[in-house]
Amino acid sequence: MGGKKKLTLSQAEKALMREEQKKEGKKETKVKEPARVEKKVTSVIPPNPKDDKIIKEIQKMKVLTPYTVASRFNLRLSVAKDFLEELHRQGVISYISGGGHIKIYKPS
């Protein structure tokens, strides 16, 4: 009764490795480690909200969310949220909508 249970991630990786080994005709006993992704070092210091270059860059963007600002300026999400709130207080951007987790702004 019931369907087949899903494999765990490690079991799925091992099954995939076994299939690849069968196709290659080689028998290795070691499981290859997945390639490691380098982590980006994000900044804790926000850019100066009064800088003309920063304001021009923000004016080019259609929609401003904490994620888009964090990825554009290489910031942490919490820093990007504070930066957007500061820009909103200065009148550079205007609030569109949002809930408890995300706020959406647009350039004024």
- Domain chopping of the chain, boundaries: 52-107
pLDDT of residue 30: 62
Asked if pLDDT for residue 45 goes beyond 80, the answer is yes
Instruction: Tell me the two tokens of residue 87.
Output: 């820009």
- What is the reported pTM? 0.61
The fraction of the chain above a pLDDT of 90, given in percent, is: 49
- Please, which residues have CB within 8 angstroms of residue 52's CB and are 6 or more apart in sequence? none
CA-closest candidate to residue 102, choices 76, 87, 89, 84: 84
Domain 52-107 falls under CATH 1.10.10.10: yes
Asked if pLDDT for residue 104 goes beyond 70, the answer is yes
34-50 CB burial, b ≥16 within 10 A, e <16: eeeeeeeeeeeebbebe
* N- to C-terminal Cα separation, the chain: 60
pLDDT of residue 29: 57
Asked if pLDDT for residue 46 goes beyond 80, the answer is yes
Spacing of C-alpha 36 from chain mean position: 17
Least confident residue range of 14-23, 31-40, 50-59, 62-71: 31-40
Instruction: Tell me the two tokens of residue 44.
Output: 């804790």
> Is there a contact between 70 and 79 (Cβ–Cβ < 8 Å)?
yes
pLDDT of residue 34: 76
